């Protein structure tokens, strides 16, 4: 973290610029050491004069030389100067963007009675702090440029002399590329005599001042030691030309030419006095002279340091880059991956080359996520650290051979095969980096491309996750960029000015979601927008309309390896197509099935569930002419890896196919409580569908439908995995609804869709089911309102949907017709007659015909009692429905008794989280409410709501219904605030998922309004109830109980507002009550 004027430390290293804004590591350290008693900030500051400045810089600086640090700081606040120019912070960073720039400060103010120190102590502290700040492997051998002002020059000398005597500081000593001395008093200063005189007169510490006197033996000894140990250092001495006035009477150079220079070393003068040697402005000729020397040393730094290490006997030296065989420069659009870049650089750094372990870093992940671009960035960042960087494309054996031979040739060896090249690399002691890119063939052993021995560093990129086994120092399964980096990449690719980015964040977020933050896709999207094909906010709509075209769009410049998103995915599919293995064939078929459902996690348990139903279908083979039944034909359409004809379920081929897709990074594996699941990146999912022609898509859709339909027999899987299966059913159904061509024969398609319809009804996707049923009737050429023989199941589903969406009268009419037709041909206890009778009774209840509902359900329950076991699911379902009818009929105690019986039996036959068990518990709690057992109701409903929170989506209607009932219990129990909060949540969710006239939505609004009345919020209650009454007036009969209840509640709300005093309102209320 860089420091500021306010946070600068009096002692220690102050970093003014940390370097490498793109996330890469700094390449050099520039460190300036202050002089005697200097202020840690102002010692490096020159004031740029304003137009009305009344003091000269030179005069001010002369005066400051004799003032304490505190006085200097206070003076600075009062002077009329335009602003500070702190050259280490303001001038150097633009010249050295890849440098870390810092100053070193220490307490040496002889005017401060608390300060007692000497040169050796100051130097030792400097040496240790610098050592601490360069602990990471990538820091230890980083070149250093040292700049010393006045006493700071002596501290640098003493520190380097000390470093020669302590092995811990070897890296520091060898890393010094050069030194710039600014007025270093190597032979002392006459000014120190006056300083010492003043110190002694005031009783102050004078140790440092005494040592700085002319003719000091200590300085002579230091110069001798420094020359003996560091005579080869690249250093330049700058000295002052102007004289300074001190004590108001004497004018002289503080450090003269003879003292400020070293024998045999270059020296230059600056047009300033001693106090100006370390202060530079923006248009300063002195700074230009200093800058040229810093630049020269910084440029030569890596070479100088490498040679020093070589002379010191270090094998792992960095000699600068000589061989650069890299296919292209890093893309200017490269964004993010800062932490990954840091990890790779640290793992492969030359500082770690002396280890006995070969360094291999592996990067895997989905195509187009930036594996190769990351390697290009690493190669560029680390170019100066490796003598040779070699790039080999291993996507095919032939390209690998050509690239390896080219590497050997560059190294001066004539070879014609890969093994000989590997031997060349293995025997090369100088530092090298080998990048093996595109190792994407799962059937190939990439170990044959690894040189033997321990020398060198290697990066491998692959879509095959198993390649991580090659890593010795690090592995990364590359993920999409985070939102901030993704937005930046999109904006850069679209060529948006940086200052405009905040204006487009919300629009960019939608594109990120659409593209799954896929790196290459974002680059393509930005290029598409930059070309003017659409505006940023128009891209999502354009993508949905022209997805295939957009994902095949290629920018003209800076293209990726494969050019576009679809091409990079297809390269993976080519690997599978070229393979003749059974696993590859199964993997492609599994990929096709995944493309027909949602990209979210799909439980693979449905494949076993589908296989389980195969035997049942074979044993009870239905006539092929039955349009609505699952038949042998559906079994035959299952994917080959299900092995429908086998006598036992065998997951081997499915597992192999799954593993192969996962190894290629086309899918992501998930553990669903011990059962495997797969998901896909949204773009890989889109490609998997779009890569198939219409015939292939039809076959894949049928195969997927057969898996879904046949697996429905396993109610446990569908009930426990409902939340995960819902998006897959929705996506699958949408493909058929939005089809352009036929996807198969009606005898295959309609039974599949009917099973999907049952799933949607159970999941309470009422609108989606309504849309699906409408399309099915059109496909069959029959009318939903006119019963046709042979489609009883379809009409039964239609009726249930009509009840759910509030069209109860139509449902009753339809089911009465169905029951009438079935009764003419079926026995009284035939399941195909009892089922529509049950449905009709439920419709009666919903339509307010409660007596009819009770009568019919009692008949159904009694009939089933004679033919079914007590714990048979169908019998329990009818008893549950009868109990609900009892509640509607005011027979709460009967309802409680019957539901307690149902719940007790289900507790022994169903899991705790089974939807049917929870549904009966919900109904029992409602019955408790009706019978006044409020505490029992609340306790049971809290249990139901808690479990459904873990198994159902937040907008599932069954879950919302339980929350609704719990809120009613809270209200009945006097916990009105809890009731209101829960009901507001339910109403808010239903507003986004249900139509305005949906019965559940209206019921929740009505209950919330009543809760508002109880809390004294009558105006909010009136507003809600007016809305409910208005809608029910168009959807329910005048005498429907629900409509009457709403009208009565509204009248009560009006009364609560004392509106009856208004005549017009009296009439309205009278009509409602009447």
Q: State the average pLDDT over residues 879-892.
A: 90
pLDDT band at 823 (very low <50, low <70, confident <90, very high): confident
* Of 44, 78, 459, nearest in space to 281 by CA: 44
- What pLDDT does residue 297 have? 92
Domain 985-1073 has CATH 1.25.40.10: yes
**Beta-sheet pairing, 250-252 with 388-393:** unpaired
Q: State the average pLDDT over residues 631-655.
A: 90
How confident is the model over 901-922, as pLDDT tens digits?
999 998 998 888 888 888 899 9
Looking at the predicted structure, is the pLDDT value of residue 1060 above 50?
no
Looking at the predicted structure, is the pLDDT value of residue 484 above 50?
yes
How confident is the model over 38-78, as pLDDT tens digits?
899 999 999 887 545 554 444 455 444 444 444 555 554 44
**What three-state secondary structure class fits 416?**
coil
Least confident of 98-112, 249-263, 526-540: 526-540
pLDDT band at 1057 (very low <50, low <70, confident <90, very high): confident
Torsion of CA 541, 543, 547, 551, to 10 degrees: 170
- Do residues 773 and 797 make contact, with C-beta atoms less than 8 angstroms apart? yes
Q: How far apart are CA 1060 and CA 1063, in angstroms?
A: 7
- Do residues 597 and 588 make contact, with C-beta atoms less than 8 angstroms apart? no
pLDDT band at 1070 (very low <50, low <70, confident <90, very high): very low
- Do residues 590 and 691 make contact, with C-beta atoms less than 8 angstroms apart? no
Q: How far apart are CA 883 and CA 889, in angstroms?
A: 10
Where are the extended beta strands (E) located within 499-563?
Answer: none
The structure tokens 């900030």 sit at: 41
How confident is the model over 760-770, as pLDDT tens digits?
988 888 889 99
For 297, the enclosing helix (H) or strand (E) is helix 285-311
Q: State the average pLDDT over residues 976-995.
A: 90
Looking at the predicted structure, is the pLDDT value of residue 163 above 50?
yes
The structure tokens 């804004």 sit at: 21
The structure tokens 């009774």 sit at: 841
The structure tokens 């002279």 sit at: 289
- What pLDDT does residue 808 have? 86
- What pLDDT does residue 773 have? 92
Q: Which CATH number fits domain 12-311: 3.30.70.2740, 1.10.3720.10, 3.40.50.1820, 3.40.50.300?
A: 3.40.50.1820
The single-letter DSSP state of residue 1024 is H
Cβ-proximal residues to 382 (8 Å cutoff; 6+ apart), any chain: 345, 348, 349, 389, 433
* Of 503, 85, 446, 567, nearest in space to 278 by CA: 85
* 430/401: higher pLDDT: 401
Q: How far apart are CA 888 and CA 1006, in angstroms?
A: 17
Q: What is the mean pLDDT of the chain?
A: 83
- What pLDDT does residue 316 have? 42
* Of 848, 808, 845, 809, nearest in space to 1045 by CA: 848
Phi and psi, residue 991, nearest 5°: -65, -25
Cβ-proximal residues to 841 (8 Å cutoff; 6+ apart), any chain: 852, 853, 856, 857, 860, 881, 885
- What pLDDT does residue 55 have? 47
Cβ neighbours, 10 Å, residue 102: 22
Q: How far apart are CA 517 and CA 533, in angstroms?
A: 21
Looking at the predicted structure, is the pLDDT value of residue 442 above 60?
yes
- What pLDDT does residue 592 have? 93
How confident is the model over 1006-1031, as pLDDT tens digits?
999 998 988 888 888 899 999 999 98
How confident is the model over 691-747, as pLDDT tens digits?
888 899 999 999 999 999 999 988 778 877 888 899 999 999 999 998 877 888 888
Q: How far apart are CA 432 and CA 832, in angstroms?
A: 78
- What pLDDT does residue 627 have? 62
Phi and psi, residue 630, nearest 5°: -80, 135
Which letter, b or e, does each residue of 724-734 get, where b requires 16 or more Cβ atoms within 10 Å of its Cβ?
Answer: bbbbbbbbbbe
Cβ-proximal residues to 893 (8 Å cutoff; 6+ apart), any chain: 931
Phi and psi, residue 994, nearest 5°: -120, 150
- What pLDDT does residue 59 have? 46
H helix count then E strand count, the chain: 47, 20
pLDDT band at 593 (very low <50, low <70, confident <90, very high): very high
How confident is the model over 834-856, as pLDDT tens digits?
888 998 999 998 888 999 999 99
**Beta-sheet pairing, 235-240 with 45-49:** unpaired
The structure tokens 């340091």 sit at: 305
- Do residues 918 and 894 make contact, with C-beta atoms less than 8 angstroms apart? no
Cβ-proximal residues to 896 (8 Å cutoff; 6+ apart), any chain: 883, 924, 927, 928, 931, 933
How confident is the model over 512-555, as pLDDT tens digits?
887 777 777 787 777 777 777 778 888 777 777 766 666 665 44
The single-letter DSSP state of residue 621 is P
How confident is the model over 291-321, as pLDDT tens digits?
999 999 998 888 788 778 767 765 444 446 7
> 323-477: which CATH architecture?
3-Layer(aba) Sandwich (3.40)
């Amino acid at each position: 973290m860089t420091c500021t004027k306010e946070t600068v430390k009096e002692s220690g290293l102050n970093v003014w610029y940390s370097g490498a804004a793109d996330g890469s590591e700094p390449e050099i350290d520039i460190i300036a050491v202050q002089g005697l008693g200097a202020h840690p900030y102002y010692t490096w500051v020159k004031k740029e004069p304003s137009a009305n400045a009344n003091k000269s810089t030179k005069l001010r600086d002369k005066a400051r030389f004799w003032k304490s640090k505190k006085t200097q700081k206070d003076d600075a606040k009062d002077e009329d100067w335009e602003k500070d120019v702190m050259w280490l912070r303001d001038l150097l960073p633009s010249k050295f963007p890849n440098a870390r720039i810092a100053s070193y400060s220490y307490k040496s103010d002889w005017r401060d009675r608390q300060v007692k120190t000497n040169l050796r102590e100051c130097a030792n502290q400097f040496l240790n702090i610098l050592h601490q700040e360069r602990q990471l492997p990538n820091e230890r051998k980083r070149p250093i440029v040292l700049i010393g002002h006045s006493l700071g020059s002596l501290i640098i000398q003493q520190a380097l002399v000390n470093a020669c005597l302590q092995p811990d500081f070897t890296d520091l000593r060898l890393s010094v590329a050069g030194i710039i001395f600014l007025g270093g008093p190597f032979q002392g200063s006459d000014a120190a005599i006056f300083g010492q005189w003043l110190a002694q007169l005031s009783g102050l510490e004078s140790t440092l001042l005494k040592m700085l006197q002319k003719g000091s033996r200590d300085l002579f000894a230091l110069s001798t030691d420094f020359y003996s140990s560091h005579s080869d250092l690249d250093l330049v001495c700058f000295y002052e030309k102007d004289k300074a006035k001190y004590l108001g009477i004497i004018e002289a150079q503080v450090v003269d030419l003879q003292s400020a220079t070293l024998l045999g070393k270059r020296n230059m003068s600056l047009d300033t006095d001693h106090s100006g040697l370390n202060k530079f402005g923006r248009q300063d000729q002195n700074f230009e002279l200093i800058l040229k020397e810093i630049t020269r040393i910084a440029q030569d730094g890596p070479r100088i340091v490498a040679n020093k290490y070589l002379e010191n006997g270090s094998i792992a030296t960095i000699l600068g880059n000589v061989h650069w065989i890299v296919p292209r420069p890093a893309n200017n659009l490269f964004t993010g991956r800062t932490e990954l870049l840091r990890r790779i650089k640290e793992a492969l750094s030359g500082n770690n080359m002396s280890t006995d372990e070969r360094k291999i870093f592996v990067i895997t992940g989905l195509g187009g996520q930036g594996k190769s671009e990351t390697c290009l960035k690493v190669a560029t960042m680390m170019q100066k650290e490796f003598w040779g960087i070699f790039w080999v494309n291993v996507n095919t054996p032939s390209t690998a051979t050509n690239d390896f031979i080219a590497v050997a040739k560059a190294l001066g060896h004539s070879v014609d095969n890969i093994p000989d090249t590997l031997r060349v690399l293995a025997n090369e002691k100088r530092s090298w980096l080998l990048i093996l890119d595109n190792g994407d063939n799962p059937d190939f052993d990439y170990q044959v491309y690894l040189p033997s021995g321990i020398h060198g560093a290697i990066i491998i990129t692959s879509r095959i996750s198993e390649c991580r086994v090659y890593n010795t120092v690090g592995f990364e399964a590359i993920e999409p960029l985070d939102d901030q980096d993704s937005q930046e990449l999109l904006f850069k690719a679209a060529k948006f000015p940086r200052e405009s980015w905040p204006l487009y964040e919300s629009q960019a977020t939608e594109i990120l979601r659409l593209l799954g933050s896929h790196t290459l896709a974002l680059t393509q999207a930005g290029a598409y927008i930059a070309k003017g094909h659409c505006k940023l906010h128009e891209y999502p709509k354009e993508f949905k309309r022209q997805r295939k075209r957009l994902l095949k769009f290629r920018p003209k410049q800076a293209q990726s390896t494969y050019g576009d998103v679809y091409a990079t995915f297809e390269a993976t599919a080519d690997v599978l197509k070229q393979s003749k293995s059974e696993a590859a064939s199964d993997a492609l078929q599994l990929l096709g099935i995944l493309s027909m459902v949602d990209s979210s996690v799909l439980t693979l348990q449905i494949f076993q569930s589908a296989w389980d139903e195969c035997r049942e279908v074979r044993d009870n083979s239905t006539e092929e002419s039955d349009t609505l039944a699952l038949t042998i034909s559906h079994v035959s359409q299952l994917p080959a890896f299900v092995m429908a004809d086998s006598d036992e379920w065998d997951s081997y081929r499915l597992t192999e196919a799954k593993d192969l897709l996962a190894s290629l990074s086309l899918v992501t594996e998930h553990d669903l409580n011990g059962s495997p699941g797969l998901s896909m990146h949204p773009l890989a999912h889109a490609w998997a569908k779009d890569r198939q022609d219409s015939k292939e898509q039809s076959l894949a859709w049928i195969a997927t439908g057969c898996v879904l339909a046949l697996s429905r027999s396993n109610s446990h899987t569908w009930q426990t995995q409902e939340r995960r299966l819902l998006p897959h059913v929705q996506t699958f159904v949408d493909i058929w609804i939005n089809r352009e061509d036929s996807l198969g024969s009606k005898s295959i398609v309609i039974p599949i869709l009917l099973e999907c319809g049952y799933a949607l009804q159970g999941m309470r996707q009422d609108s989606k089911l309504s849309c699906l049923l409408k399309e099915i009737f059109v496909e069959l050429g029959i009318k939903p309102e006119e019963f046709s023989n042979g489609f009883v199941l379809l009409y039964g589903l239609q009726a249930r949907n009509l009840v759910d969406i509030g069209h109860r009268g139509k449902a009753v009419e339809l089911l009465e017709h169905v029951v009438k037709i079935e009764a003419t041909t079926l026995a009284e206890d035939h399941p195909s007659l009892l089922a529509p009778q049950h449905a009709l009774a439920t419709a009666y209840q919903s339509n307010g015909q409660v007596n009819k509902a009770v009568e019919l359900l009692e008949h159904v329950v009694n009939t089933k009692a004679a033919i079914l076991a007590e714990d048979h699911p169908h019998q329990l379902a009818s008893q549950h429905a009868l109990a609900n009818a009892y509640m509607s009929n005011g027979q709460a105690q009967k309802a409680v008794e019957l539901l307690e019986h149902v719940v007790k039996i289900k507790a022994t036959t169903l899991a705790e989280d089974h939807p049917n068990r929870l549904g009966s518990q919900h109904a029992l709690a409602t019955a408790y409410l009706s019978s006044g057992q409020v505490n029992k109701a609340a306790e049971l409903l809290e249990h139901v709501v808690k479990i459904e929170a873990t198994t159902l989506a937040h907008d599932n209607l069954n879950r919302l219904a339980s929350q609704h009932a719990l809120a009613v219990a809270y209200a009945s129990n006097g916990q009105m605030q809890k009731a209101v909060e829960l009901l507001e949540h339910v109403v808010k969710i239903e507003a986004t998922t249900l139509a305005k006239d949906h019965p559940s939505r209206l019921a929740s609004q009505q209950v919330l309004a009543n809760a508002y009345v109880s809390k004294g919020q009558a105006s909010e209650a009136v507003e809600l109830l007016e809305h409910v009454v208005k809608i029910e007036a168009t959807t329910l009969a005048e005498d429907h109980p629900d409509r009457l209840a709403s009208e009565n509640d509204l009248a009560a709300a009006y009364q609560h507002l004392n509106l009856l005093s208004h005549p017009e309102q009296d009439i309205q209320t009278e009509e409602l009550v009447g």
